[in-house]
Structure 1
């Protein structure tokens, strides 16, 4: 479909609400005009109506019962862990050994990887996620399977093969050299193809030797525009382990810094227990943090210090972190994020939550020139949200006083049923 015209309430961010009082734009009666997968024009219907031909006017889609918002951006998620979501009873290090490594070992089977990729991509789209930064497994076939499935849906997916050469079972290990060689081949095969981009993906410092981390750094330096995606300061036992394994590093982040892994397209999941020096270094290198509240609560890792990181000016996006996270829903994730910050004495505004799930995530991924809002020229990834999706929502939203109240109710008690329509490049998925 080369052109679509949608009329209805529209909400998006033009900047960060906590820093700009005029960052949110809401039109009770908007026209979203999409051409060739991009936002051609957007604004109040009455200001654009005169630009339409009589034929175009007859093709306007009535979306007055919905709320149009940009597609959600998931800055950290593991697709091989889809089948182990909601696994019971352990914290991070035990959880990896008990659940994660056995499951990921099975992804050496290309058919298994292909089957799970279909489920994974389907779940993202059902939950309104149109862009995601994804961990695959240590196997190259797992990357091929995910990218192939994402390509079929024209999704913007960033992903990479896990690099892991120690402190895990042999069936999920590679070597410094093989991880370099295989990652390089995957970059050449997939990075920049359609809407796909590659992320160099060391799992986390404890499962990589210095040699492998330096190999990851070489890959990052040799391939302009690729991403780096790993974990950082998720769990206190993990941090103590890093100190033992890397005694010459000043702190956890410094392990990655020494390997050349910080930069504008470096995204570190979690960052719960960062010291001031680490925060300062993240800002100076323009690196980003993916906040994963659902996972942090479920695995018992700790309470994310959002206000502290905001005060430093660190880029923050949201991550569902499936399967440590218990839902593909960004709405669910935002609800848990709000509750977590309440425990920290920090009240997240509804508009800041919207930002974190859309434009904030796009900024964290260095994609805010392409996605995250309805600005003219951006890719038309967007959602139609249904405030009447359930009986409770229908009752509750009928009492909402304005868009701010409505959005907060949707993010707090909404789920995948709220997603009436997910659009990728202007096409219903």
Structure 2
């Protein structure tokens, strides 16, 4: 057997081999290779299996990177995050609508400055990578330069990233408003420049229904029809006051989701963040149109918005990923976010297993973004984005790790006790883009 490869990684691997329709199928698709080998050619996976099977494929003297006592998992996928809100994370004391007014809009107004956008883009991407997140679906601001800066820096890493400039023309400060025509023109220019360039994708991004006039939504629909390979990214049913406001603003619509659906904004590659207070018909519409949900546990708890019904998402067969939703979300770290998701489930008597949680953060998230043919596990032919986790970086973690030998226990401890300290290496496109600092390793 002859194949071309440039990189060999040996270690303890875990992934989910295929997408599933219910959590009971996860054990069938769980793939754990305690001593495995991953062969890469440039940025693609060309072989994956056990070390015993793969060692004969290696030429004599070929350099192998061996991560002993570590766990290697697919890169985390964040399906909803606001990069301009990085600098206001942890803002105190409000629920959604007041929080937007008091914190979000003033912060986002700074992104009219290209230099500021560039500085925050660099910081944001470093936060993603240092937390093991290799792909994200990202909100910019209303300013085109906000996504220009982000895409430029992600392209330099050859990172798989989807982003878009916010579109809004009402119910926000004047300096953040645009006309529907201006929004269409600027968004179109960005799509033509960035969508499909290297590993980048563009998301058409109306902020949410309350900041969108029918005229703006018509322009969003126009873009959606002109660029069917682009994504659609917005918010849906996050807060009860928000839901009531939408019903008052759009009395002719049957529901909040129906506002978007009437403009053709549901479907494959449409991702709706939150979805906490859905009516039955909205669940059915999401399923029937192939739309996806981004479940954002930390921000839902932080803003007091409500508890997402994960069990219902399975029952209704709605695709789902996990979103950190920084800056209402309080961490970039997917392990901590999964720990909060577990608590959300517990409050509703739903036991979120570690295997299911990691599925949502990897292959399930890839499926929600219609990228499961490219990322999400270690299947041959997929892109080489993955994370090397150190499962025991503190005295407490070491104590628990020593008496938790089963994989399920180790994964669960990572998502309940883990944080950014557990991220040892992050690989994007087959290359190390983050490594734990030497002083952290020695600690």
What TM bracket, shorter-length normalisation? over 0.9
Match of 2:13 among 10, 20, 26: 10
Give the distance between the partners of 1:298 and 1:84, measured in 2 at CA: 13
The match for 2:44 among 34, 38, 48 is: 38
Give the drift of 1:2. 6.5
Tell me the equivalent position of 1:90. Answer: 94
Find the residue that maps to 1:22 and give its secondary structure: helix
Match of 1:51 among 48, 57, 63: 57
Partner of 1:378: helix, strand, or coil? coil
- TM-score, structure 2 normalization: 0.95
What CA distance in whole angstroms lies between the structure 2 residues aligned with 1:2 and 1:88? 51
Matches within 5 A, 1:124-143: 124-143=128-147
Q: Are 2:30 and 1:27 equivalent residues in the alignment?
A: no
Q: Please give the alpha-carbon distance, in whole angstroms, between the structure 2 residues aligned to 1:29 and 1:2.
A: 19
The CA distance in 2 between the partners of 1:331 and 1:272, in whole Å, is 22
**What TM-score, normalized by structure 1, do the two folds share?**
0.98
Aligned residue in 1 for 2:422: 418
Specify every segment of 5 or more residues in structure 2 that has no aligned partner in the other structure, as ranges.
Answer: 434-443
CA distance in 1, matches of 2:423, 2:253: 45
Deviation digits for residues 126-151 of structure 1 (CA, Å, limit 9, x no counterpart) = 00000000000000000101101111
Moved more, 147-156 or 16-25: 16-25
Listed as ranges, the matches of 1:106-185 within 5 Å are: 106-185=110-189
Deviation digits for residues 73-97 of structure 1, max 9, x if unmatched? 0000000000000000000000000
Residues 27 and 2 (structure 1), Cα distance of their counterparts in 2 relative to 1, 3 Å cut? closer
Q: For 2:313, which of 309, 312, 329 is the aligned residue?
A: 309
Aligned residues: 427
Q: CA RMSD in A?
A: 1.1
Cα offset, 1:19, TM superposition: 4.2
1:351 to 351, 355, 359: 355
Contact 1:214 1:260 in 2 (8 A): no
1:161-220 deviation line (CA, Å, top 9, x unaligned)? 100000111011111111100000000111111111100000000000011011101101
Q: How far apart, in 2, do the equivalents of 1:388 and 1:341 lie?
A: 25
Aligned equivalents of 2:53, 2:153: Cα separation in 1: 40
Secondary structure of 2:36's aligned partner: strand
- Deviation of 1:310 (Å): 1.0
